[in-house]
Amino acid sequence: MKVCIISILGRPNVGKSSLLNKIIKYDLAIVSNVPQTTRDQIMGVYTENDYQFVFVDTPGIHKPLNLLGESLNKEAFSSINDIDCILFLTPVNEEIKSGDKLILERIANSKNKIAVISKIDLAKSPDDISKKIKSLEEFNFQKIISVSNKNDKSIDSLIEILKEYSYEAPPFYDEDYITDKSMRFMAKEYIRESAINLLTDELPHSIAVEVQDFIEEEDRITINAVIYVKKDSQKGILIGKGASMIKKIGTNARMKMGHQFNSKVTLNLKVKVSNKWINDKSALKKFGYN
């Protein structure tokens, strides 16, 4: 067996989670159009014939405005240690920004690093891709490639390139293993994903989810969870008129859990206010952001 451990790095909202999900063919990392959706390192395992790749999806690296932001950056940069290859994602339709340069400085001395130009379906012409490649040439990447999550061939090409960085070793995990994350963790993330995709403005950044009970029975999983927000006014928005919004959030999350967990799911949601959780170390630890 040949193996490789790969860290996926980039600014918020550049397509890291979408790429991971596409590679492993499973909705593991939650996805939305809201920056900083990913708050944890998410490990996904791809096994094919004689190869096994362990991918680590990371929170988007950004200039932190609070303790949560500092925690997310720390989580992302910690993934650089003990890995074999780095995928640095940057969208075709965006210039190299200060956030990119922060990452590029940190990985400057990393040996095996590949620049991945993402979202190439947004390119207006082939020249856009050429210009993007040129802007990356000064950063000493071993390879610069482009991918589209809508094009399986580009994903296959990425896998073939990663095989060049693999080495002989016993497999880290069984052939059917996908992730180290528990169903309880995934339930928390699916609830947060549902809320993020139904809400607007800054409210998604103010949300934290705590799964208080995860009860597995023979024919059903029962989940009791609390969604926390920072303000009373946000609580009203999250619940909605006649509890309409919280019902939508619950329905969408429950349907996804049922599909992903292959089980009937009962989901009970509550909404609470925690004024300073985003800057409170004990609260961040409670929600899993150490």
User: Would you kindly state where each structural domain of the chain is located, as residue ranges?
Assistant: 2-168, 183-286
Q: Which helix (H) or strand (E) holds 90?
A: strand 85-91
Give backbone dihedrals phi and psi of 60, rounded to 5 degrees, phi first: -65, 130
Q: Phi first, then psi: what are they for 77, rounded to 5°?
A: -70, -25
Please indicate if the annotation marks 83 as binding a ligand: no
Q: What is the pLDDT of residue 65?
A: 42
| 57 assigned binding-site residue | yes
Strand partners, 53: 4, 46
**154 belongs to an annotated ligand binding site:** no
Nearest-10 crossing angle of helices 244-261, 183-198: 140
Q: What per-residue confidence (pLDDT) applies to 62?
A: 41
pLDDT computed for residue 288 by the predictor: 65
Residue 42 annotated in ligand binding: no
Residue 118, marked binder: yes
Mean pLDDT, the chain, integer:
86
Please tell me whether 120 is known to bind a ligand.
yes
Amino acid occupying residue 15: G
Tokens of 4: 């490789």
In eight-state DSSP terms, residue 177 is -
Cβ atoms of 178 and 208 within 8 Å: the answer is: no
- In this prediction, residue 70 has a pLDDT band, given cuts at 50, 70 and 90, of low
Is 236 assigned a ligand-binding role in the annotation? Answer: no
Q: Is 15 annotated as a binding residue?
A: yes
Task: Let me know how long the chain is.
Answer: 290
Report the C-alpha gap between 162 and 253 in whole angstroms. Answer: 34
CB 79 within 8 Å of CB 57: no
At residue 168, the pLDDT reads 97
Q: Predicted confidence band at 284 (pLDDT cuts at 50, 70, 90)?
A: low
**The CATH number of 2-168 is which of 2.50.20.20, 3.40.50.2300, 3.20.20.70, 3.40.50.300?**
3.40.50.300
The whole-number average pLDDT for the span 67-75 is: 50
Say whether domain 183-286 belongs to CATH 3.30.300.20: yes
64 annotated as a binding-site residue: no
pLDDT of residue 63: 45
Judge whether 121 is annotated as a binding position: yes
14 assigned ligand-binding residue: yes
On whether 59 is known to bind a ligand per the annotation, the reply is yes
Residue 258 labelled as part of a binding site:
no
